[in-house]
Amino acid sequence: MEHNLTPHKLLFCLLLLMSFSAFAQHKKPNIIFILTDDQRWDALGFAGNTLIQTPEMDKLAAEGTYFENAFVTTPICAASRASLITGLYERTHGYTFGQGDLKEVYAANSYPAKLREAGYFTGFYGKFGIQYPDFSSFFDEGENYDRNGKFNDRRGYFFKTIDKDTVHLTRYTSQQAIDFIGNAPGDKPFMLSLSFSAPHAHDPAELQYFWSAAYDTMYQNLVIPEPLLQENKYFEAQPAYVRTGENRTRWHWRYDTPEKYQHSVKGYYRMISEVDAEIGNIRKALEEKGLADNTVIILMGDNGYFLGERQLAGKWLMYDNSLRVPLIVYDPRQAGGVINPAFALNIDVPATIMDYAGVTPPKTWQGTSLRSRQLAKRKDFLTEHLWQVDIIAPSEAIRTEQWKYFRYINDPSHEELYDLRADPLETNNLAKDPAHQATLKKLREKMEK
């Protein structure tokens, strides 16, 4: 049978094909990845915290998938953020503070680079946290900014302006997101990364935490309960280099008096609540542009945080306070209300983003899509903090469903072993218990491999 297409029919077919192709591309979901700075896993109402007010995050968790066992593979912002864009462990990508630029081979295989290659319109606003000379190669639009350390007062946060009005970085980042959504091209999906600086303290400042004036009265009449494990015995159990290290130094900045402790925890909560409110504004912008039903939202913290436990502050160590983070994946196209108990890691986020975008991730990546059935097969994982600096002892750990084994890299003779089922707060170190030497040896050998 012959098919004779006139020029008009041929043009119509070509236009139809182009329209179908554009429609298919446009139906790929938009993706927003929201990263908070120092938000620990239980600084979230949905996680059971009855003090903090996070209605928007709770709504995302209730309508999406909440990963109740989410962890970072390195508990410090620089290395964790590098893992979040490369899908690799720190000992693979080699990036942390003081190590120079992120290596080009890993940058080229990062999720923002791959999504841009695949036709996504990409954006980033906030704290990038990775030293790399060609930030603009990752994103069609973006701005990399963080706390301004030149000042020891609120200017460390309030240094951005919107219409000549000086605002908190949280408000500024949200407005950048709203503008990006409003101006995003209609013929391709977008991938927007938002990296809020909150609730990170402004370290040089005496008051540490700063928030918008509208949040001054939030938590004002609340008395924050004292931290767990605050007794001297838990502090004294630490090796000398931890007792005199940065975790202790920052405890003095934030928690060493009842007044400082109340101020700091309330400030930390206020900053998270402010991010929470701006998430609501961003979702409203998606609704107004008709994009809400096709936009996946992923929310995560970049590392855990000590709030005075063991008389310590900061992160960096191998206890769950430092490692465990909130992680939520909300897909409006899927039924929500799912609580996933599997181990979920920061290195899984890039693979998840690629999965949603329909793009094959590089074979060298070490994470697994959070949508994959393979996730449930993960029974253990490695976590590490490899930065060689005097004030923070580098360390590494293996965590299974029942056990955690960790050691300090420069002092391998100091080992800690915890039965997490019997001792979830990690208070009874079994490393020298004769009854647990087989477990210790097995995990030590696994670490060596």
Report d(CA 191, CA 118) in Å as an integer.
11
Report d(CA 418, CA 414) in Å as an integer.
14
pLDDT per residue as tens, the chain (449 positions): 445 555 555 544 444 444 443 444 458 999 999 999 999 999 999 999 999 999 999 999 999 999 999 999 999 999 999 999 999 999 999 999 999 999 999 999 999 999 999 999 999 999 999 999 999 889 999 999 998 878 888 888 888 899 888 999 999 999 999 999 999 999 999 999 999 999 999 998 999 999 999 999 999 999 999 999 999 999 999 999 999 999 999 999 999 999 999 999 999 999 999 999 999 999 999 999 999 999 999 999 999 999 999 999 999 999 999 999 999 999 999 999 999 999 999 999 999 999 999 999 999 999 999 999 999 999 999 999 999 999 999 999 999 999 999 999 999 999 999 999 999 999 999 999 999 999 999 999 999 88
- Cα 194-281-141 angle, rounded to 5 deg: 35
Q: pLDDT tens for residues 95-145?
A: 999 999 999 999 999 999 999 999 999 999 999 999 999 998 899 999 999
pLDDT of residue 8: 56
DSSP category for residue 311: G
pLDDT of residue 429: 98
Domains and CATH numbers, the chain: 25-401 (3.40.720.10)
H or E element at residue 67: strand 65-71
Query: Nearest to residue 210, comparing CAs of 218, 200, 195?
Result: 200
3-state secondary structure of 36: strand
Report d(CA 309, CA 424) in Å as an integer.
14
pLDDT of residue 152: 85
H or E element at residue 349: helix 348-357
This prediction's pTM: 0.93
Using CA atoms of 59, 62, 66, 69 in order, give the dihedral in degrees to the nearest 10.
100
Are 338 and 64 in contact by the 8 Å Cβ rule? The answer is: yes
Are 52 and 269 in contact by the 8 Å Cβ rule? The answer is: yes
3-state secondary structure of 423: coil
- Beta pairing, strands 165-167 & 160-162: antiparallel
pLDDT of residue 190: 97
In terms of C-beta distances under 8 Å and separation of at least 24 residues, what long-range contacts does 43-49 make, across chains too? Answer: 43/199, 43/268, 43/269, 43/272, 43/301, 43/305, 43/326, 44/326, 47/326
pLDDT of residue 7: 52
Residues pairing with 416 in the sheet = 406
Alpha helices in 121-231 (DSSP H): 169-183
Are 385 and 314 in contact by the 8 Å Cβ rule? The answer is: no
Report d(CA 268, CA 246) in Å as an integer.
19
